[in-house]
Amino acid sequence: MIIDRLFDSVRQKGVVCLGLDTAPEYVPPHVVAESGGDIAGAVFAFNRAVIDATLDVTACYKIQIAYYEALGLRGLEAYAKTLRYIRERGGIAIADIKRGDIAETAAMYARAHFTGDFEADMVTLSPYMGMDSLEPYAAYFQGGEKGCFVLARTSNPGARDIQYLDTASGGKVYEAVCQRIAAFGGPFIGRCGYSCVGAVMGCTNTEEIGRIRKQTPSVFFLIPGFGAQGGRAADVALYLNGGNGGVVNSSRAILLNYRKYADGERRYAEYARAEAVSMNVRIAGAITDGV
């Protein structure tokens, strides 16, 4: 199952989920020149070099589709090539699409992102139209080869506008969503004890995470908010279970690490690797300190 592959990848490579949210301005000028001035082609060349340099120290990759849609048809070609390259190299590709529709529309989204040109291993979904918005994806989960992460508690300040509203049962909206994610994912649990239906849980708020982790032991977390958004290694450690049960997303801190160094533009992939390794070490240290 894909969740077993992800669990094993975390165990072998660490918890880093490298976000390939590759804006054109992130790409060094020489890469653009070598691509004949083709920005979308340069984005893929940049991604490919970073993937090659980080594959053994990165549990998975998350590709935010908006960065590629903004470049038009050529950008979507770069998106498709990036997904394909990750999967051909044996990596795990999460398509960050945040779809949240129902019925036949959701079924078409599922087909679009689990088959064909845009095929990914996992996708991100929004449940705020109701849990029936997830049902069309379930056919792809039954075989165990595909999975998803459902938005539960996000890392942005505006998360409190809706996700922290009180429910009639005395909890918060995001807690109710987590419980429903766990129930929906019950039939799709792998040998690792986690379901291929996971949850997005931002690490910028830690006050209730211990309770959520205990209430939903089978839910694997995709954890945004580390680094640039304020999440710390010590915060992330609270979301994990024995160093597993989640992946921690980082994009800019890894992709732009090369800008700290005089020779960075020519060695951008090496410096991306160095930051991924450093992030794994810092988080592993925080887990050990918390034991």
Q: Which residues are catalytic?
A: 98
Nearest to 69 by CA among 93, 104, 105, 96: 96
Alpha carbon 82 to its chain centroid, in Å, reads 15
Tell me the C-alpha distance between 144 and 123, whole Å: 14
C-beta of residue 201 within 8 angstroms of C-beta of residue 152 = yes
Q: How far is CA 2 from CA 26, 33, 143, 160, in A?
A: 31, 38, 10, 32
Nearest to 241 by CA among 198, 278, 181, 279: 198
Burial class (CB in 10 A: 0-12, 13-18, 19+), 207: exposed
Is 155 in a helix, a strand, or coil?
Answer: coil
From first CA to last CA, the distance across the chain in angstroms is: 30
3-state secondary structure 158-210: CHHHHCCCECCCCCEHHHHHHHHHHHHCHHHECCCCCECEEEEECCCCCCCHH
